[in-house]
Amino acid sequence: MKIRVAAFILTLLMFVAAAGCTTNKETDTDTSVPTASDINEETTTDNTPVFPDADYDGAGFVVYARSSDAGSYKGMYIVSDNVVDTMSEAVYLRNLAVEEKYDVKISTMEEDNPYEKIRAYLQSGDVPFDLVLDRRSYLGSLAQEGCFYNFNHLEHVDFTQKYWDANCARDYEVAGKLFFMANDISVSNLAGARFFYFNKQLIADYNLEDPYDLVHNNKWTLDKFLSMVQSVSTDNGDGVWNAADTYGLLAEEGASNGNIMHLLVGCGIKFVEKNPDGTLTTNAYNEKTLDIMSKVASVLLNNNYSITYQQASAGADTSNFANIYDYGRSLFTQDHFLFIQGNMGVAHQFKDMKSDYGVLPNPKYDEAQESYYHKMDKYSLIWAIPNCNMDYERVGIIMEYWAYQSSLTVMPAYYEITIKTKRVHEETASQMLDLIKSTILYDLSEPYGTNVASILYNGYTSGNLASSWSSNKKLIDKALMDLYDKITSLD
């Protein structure tokens, strides 16, 4: 069966335009899907990259992926045989284009935690997969052991193309080695950037400024965000502060995804940086960091402006939810919180929201800050390549074309239809998502566990960052030097 990708894309774009004119909220199981017949990758515009010819005689190309049934951070949209909605249609057509061009068969083998068995596969000499897709925070130790192949050694790939993430290639490279990479094949990376959702009804009820106007007028700053959080604090009349009341923020704790960690990044603080000679350092402790922490702590710690997920779920029946975070987000849909912080992957939980929600970037430190910044969820999925005896030219050729086809099919279907049309319901929110997507930063502390984030978080909660940083700075410096030396020593 020969199919035209261009025909599918045209139909897809027509579907986006039509869907964008509707006012009804749609669910992700909408079966009004664009259909396509005839795929032909040669029907392209003049700026289409040139891809090498190859024929792999029907061989398998296998992704070892975090399970699509996992309780969180699922491995989504890699393969599809059941074409029932927009996303599965796009995945099917994308994979078919790759399979027909190179005569391969794309498939997955799934585990809840692939990282746990990768080392054993490599030691056995029998590695039945070509790629790994798992949580970045769990893959760093394997990379330091030499378990992963250097993306920089792949042939026939071009990280400057829009279907690769050039920021990831820049930020995750150490000593010329790049063991993790993001591209359009997987939507997990796009879905992993955290930002703020806000409740429109509470904005009106408390007569607050329009958050979108604040962004457009360059006034969406940390001070403004915190003042709005403090504006919403209402007891339901029983004198007990619990999940039945109304707050400015549903707060998240912890060094991984605590609100303070994302606010620090949003204000331009980097946890780990590279020196001009490529060695690693941290400059996270400074007067600006102390100022941010002091301001945030005065609002979010020990007051009635916010409540944590743990506090919100205490004593509640959460048996119908996968975890306390899903339960907490259900309270957001019932107008209990002005703000929550999350990623694009949780927006489907708001489809039955009592009122409506909007989308905001992380606030800037002040109006002089040039750009917004967004941190990846530490646990979001990323690509790695097993370091074993395999045909890496083949891996590069297939990944490049697969990512390209994803940029034509899967990513538009996910971003333009699933996210922008079904999960947000206004053009301004779509503009905010574009802004967020373009300002994602990658920090080496995520995959490599340098302990910088933990020290910062502990200093935030204790109110004594100066002491904890002083007592740990030498250990941090040594850990970063050891990490650099270890990666440098790898083949």
Q: Same domain for 53 and 142?
A: yes
Structural domain boundaries, residue 87: 5-191+379-424
pLDDT of the residue at 91: 96
- Alpha-carbon distance of 121 to 127, in angstroms, equals 5
pLDDT of the residue at 116: 96
- Domain membership flag for residue 430: no
- Domain membership flag for residue 93: yes
- Domain membership flag for residue 475: yes
Q: CA distances (Å), 324 to each of 137, 172, 320, 329, 471, in order? A: 21, 32, 10, 9, 35
Q: Same domain for 284 and 390?
A: no
Angle CA(107)–CA(111)–CA(113) in degrees, nearest 5? 130
The structure tokens 């027909």 sit at 100
Q: Same domain for 59 and 44?
A: yes
Q: Same domain for 276 and 390?
A: no
453 burial level (CB within 10 Å; 0-12, 13-18, 19+): buried
What's the number of domains the chain is made of?
2
Q: Same domain for 355 and 384?
A: no
Q: Same domain for 130 and 252?
A: no
Q: Same domain for 153 and 301?
A: no
pLDDT of the residue at 27: 37
CATH (domain of 101): 3.40.190.10
Q: Same domain for 147 and 230?
A: no
- Alpha-carbon distance of 421 to 21, in angstroms, equals 9
Who's near 82: CB < 8 A, 6+ residues apart? 88
- Domain membership flag for residue 179: yes
Per DSSP, what are the bridge partners of residue 290?
none
Q: What is the mean pLDDT of each run of 10 residues along the chain (491 residues)?
A: 46 44 37 34 62 97 95 88 86 97 98 96 96 95 96 96 93 96 90 93 97 97 98 92 94 94 97 95 96 96 92 94 94 96 88 89 98 91 96 98 96 84 80 89 89 94 94 94 96 79
Picking from 410, 337, 342, 417, the residue whose alpha carbon sits closest to that of residue 374 is 342
Residue 130 in 3-state DSSP?
A: coil
pLDDT of the residue at 21: 39
- Domain membership flag for residue 433: no
- Domain membership flag for residue 54: yes
Neighbour tally for 488: CB within 10 Å: 13
pLDDT of the residue at 46: 57
Per DSSP, what are the bridge partners of residue 364?
221
- Domain membership flag for residue 437: no
Domain boundary among 407, 424, 441: 424
- Alpha-carbon distance of 91 to 184, in angstroms, equals 12
pLDDT of the residue at 146: 96
Q: Same domain for 183 and 315?
A: no
* Inter-residue contact 333 to 354 (CB < 8 Å): yes
How far out from the chain centre does Cα 109 lie?
Answer: 22
* Inter-residue contact 304 to 247 (CB < 8 Å): yes
Angle CA(148)–CA(150)–CA(153) in degrees, nearest 5? 145
- Alpha-carbon distance of 285 to 456, in angstroms, equals 8
Q: Same domain for 40 and 142?
A: yes
Q: Same domain for 186 and 211?
A: no
Which two structure tokens, joined as six digits, stand for 190? 């796009």
Q: Same domain for 238 and 344?
A: yes
- Domain membership flag for residue 57: yes
pLDDT of the residue at 31: 36
Who's near 490: CB < 8 A, 6+ residues apart? 144, 146, 177
- Alpha-carbon distance of 199 to 211, in angstroms, equals 10
